[in-house]
Amino acid sequence: MSTTLDTQQAAVNTIRTLSMDAVQAANSGHPGTPMALAPLTYQLWNHHMNYNPAQPNWMGRDRFILSCGHASMLLYSVLHLAEVAKTDKAGNLTQGKSITIDDIKNFRQMHSPCAGHPEYGYAAGIETTTGPLGQGLGNSVGTAIAAKWLGATYNRPGYELFDFDTYVVCSDGDVMEGIGCEAASLAGHLKLSNLCWIYDDNEITIEGRTELAFSEDVAGRFEALGWQVITVTDANDLAALSAAYKKFQATDDRPTLIIVKSIIGFGAPNKQDTSGAHGSPLGEDEIKLAKENYGWTAEKFHVPGEVYEDFRSNLGARGESAYASWSEKFEAYKKEFAKEAAELEGIQTDTLPAGWQDALPVFDADEKGMATRASSGKVLQEVCKAIPWFIGGSADLAGSNKSNNDDPAAGHFGADDYSGKNFHFGIREHVMAAICNGMSLSGIRAYGATFFVFTDYLRPSLRLSSIMHQPVFYIMTHDSIGLGEDGPTHQPVEHMAACRSIPGVLVMRPGDANEVSKCYQAALEDKARPTVIVLSRQNMPTFDRSVYGSADGVLKGAYILKDTDGTPDAIVMGTGSEVVLCVEAAKQLEEQGVKTRVVSVPCWKLFDDQSEEYRESVLPSSVTNRVAVEAGIKMGWEKYLGSGGKFIGMSSFGGSAPFEELYEHFGITEKAIVAAVKG
């Protein structure tokens, strides 16, 4: 439907005035960018996006990501005007609208879905959590990848179900951040033609003008990275914006960057505001002047009725028609391609195939055993067969961390084959994690792999996996000083503690091959928490489970691996490659008359989730002679050790030498465990 210029301007000004009123009411926030970018957001949503406000979780919808999350009122305003439907935490439609005018009036207040930065899960229409600049860019590459993979995997002639686009509004800060460059580089390499970044080139950051620290040729950089670059010289020029969006939609061989020149603040030519409007309320006097400039009523939170109608008759009508057509097509698809349709419904509802756990391998006892990175690789092969949408790859280390899907039919994801299940992220650990978040937000069970020490490089995205309750699976190898000769820079002695400290992250360090298998089960059965599985380079025995406790105990986080008769005199506990040291030390202690229980503790958080009765049965409070063993720092072990317990591990960085020498040098030995118990 055509829209009059007066109605368009009213809609744009409504986004602006809602933003300034909300920030003023909260006495906190960023009004300048929403005011400046109201035209481009209005034009995109109302006249170009393929989106049905009545079905905000429709799999075929275009995605909109506000990477410059400080401009959150831009998103909340358009979600309100578009009348996006409300959903519950499970994503099911409920009565009401996603963002109400009362929600906007309570911007940045407790329990309002209109948080200071967009938070995924707070309201339908918020596609991801943004705030740390550049994260949204990484996520967008993940959603664009998901669209390409879903289309290449499930589309059939006459049934083109997946061809959605991802639009991102980003700022100077997003473009400056290193993760943004990682994301742009990989997107250009993969020729993600369904990805459009809209760059607000307003030349302002919080400290002042960008020239203080930023003078590069952004257009030239992106062209060199393989992007199409389009420039719109005035953010208020709706016709130029429309032409740019159409040019993106017509491009099929590369991603697109639309550089939009804007003046932060009033959104009108020659109305440059101070930097205060970027990061603080305008003040009542400035708001009054701005509204007068727009010819607007002084009434706060005013929305003209014709603005709602404008969105209904454009975005709403277009989205309803597209959704109906897609749904009809999918119903026919289900009859013709039942297996594929069932997989898609599993992706949509986050339901894994029935009986997938039966594919988990059980490993025979073996004194020599294997490195847990090797057993992880074997488990991965079987899980990938059982769960077709469990896909991912490595940041350049697949051969070392055993993260390739070796099925010849799995293929490699790339510009020549978007159906491939093996991803090559390059040496880009941070954006790998952000991309996995984007893939996960699109329903895919994504995994990313690298050396454990490089969680330092991807930690911000791992944290966001947890904040957004995304079950991303992180395969992390070379877990300790056990990697040996590479030395301290590659030996992650403090990283277990660092990752465990992130709320909601399941950190798992399995002690043998069967523990690895059960770690995969625990991770994939959890729909709301990311997992970091931490794996060894060196071999460790595979325990004989007819002698030792069942590996099913892994599902409870910690369990009795080897017990003694009656109440133990001491409890020795450990993780990973140190578990076998605990077992061998316990044998010596038993020979010396010390009744010793060995507890394997692969995942603290799962153990803490258990009942008090179970935890007491494993670690009885009456037994205070406790020793914990881990080739990392002590931090956090105190809650299991108590005031009288002892820790054997690291209190410094590692060294460069064969791993056996390092364990001896740093005193992580059976002898040390025995001495600690008897001491």
| Residue 429 annotated as catalytic | yes
- The answer for residues whose C-beta is within 8 angstroms of residue 189's C-beta and 6 or more apart is 226, 415, 426
- In this structure, what DSSP letter does residue 558 have? -
Q: Supply 379's token pair.
A: 């488990």
- The answer for residues whose C-beta is within 8 angstroms of residue 672's C-beta and 6 or more apart is 648
Residue 137: CB atoms within 10 A of its CB come to 30
Q: Compute the distance between CA of residue 172 and CA of residue 175 in angstroms, rounded to an integer.
A: 5
Q: Compute the distance between CA of residue 180 and CA of residue 183 in angstroms, rounded to an integer.
A: 5
* Strand locations in 452-564 (E): 473-477, 506-508, 531-534, 539-542, 559-562
Residue 645 CA, chain-centre distance (Å), reads: 37
Q: Is the dihedral of CA 271, 272, 278, 283 positive or negative?
A: negative
Q: Compute the distance between CA of residue 545 and CA of residue 562 in angstroms, rounded to an integer.
A: 10
Q: Compute the distance between CA of residue 359 and CA of residue 390 in angstroms, rounded to an integer.
A: 13
Q: Compute the distance between CA of residue 183 and CA of residue 140 in angstroms, rounded to an integer.
A: 9
**Are 425 and 414 contacting, i.e. CB atoms less than 8 angstroms apart?**
no
Q: Compute the distance between CA of residue 674 and CA of residue 594 in angstroms, rounded to an integer.
A: 10
- Written as one letter, the residue type at 614 is Y
Q: Compute the distance between CA of residue 234 and CA of residue 218 in angstroms, rounded to an integer.
A: 17
Alpha-helical (H) ranges within 4-134 are: 5-26, 32-47, 72-81, 101-105
Q: Compute the distance between CA of residue 628 and CA of residue 677 in angstroms, rounded to an integer.
A: 10
Q: Compute the distance between CA of residue 361 and CA of residue 384 in angstroms, rounded to an integer.
A: 12
Q: Compute the distance between CA of residue 238 and CA of residue 40 in angstroms, rounded to an integer.
A: 7
Helix, strand or coil for residue 242? Answer: helix
Q: For the chain, report the end-to-end CA distance as a whole number of angstroms.
A: 83
SS (H, E, C) 169-198: EECHHHHHCHHHHHHHHHHHHHCCCCEEEE
Q: Is the dihedral of CA 615, 618, 577, 645 positive or negative?
A: positive
Torsion, Cα 492 493 496 497, to 10 degrees, reads -130
Q: Closest Cα partner for 93 from 150, 55, 42?
A: 55
Q: Closest Cα partner for 177 from 130, 117, 223, 220?
A: 130
- The answer for residues whose C-beta is within 8 angstroms of residue 279's C-beta and 6 or more apart is 30, 32, 70, 206
Residue 144: CB atoms within 10 A of its CB come to 27
Q: Compute the distance between CA of residue 32 and CA of residue 43 in angstroms, rounded to an integer.
A: 18
CA–CA distance from 208 to each of 68, 217, 272, 410 (Å)? 17, 19, 13, 50
119, 182, 429, 578: which one is catalytic?
Answer: 429
Q: Closest Cα partner for 438 from 142, 196, 54, 104?
A: 142
Active site residues: 429
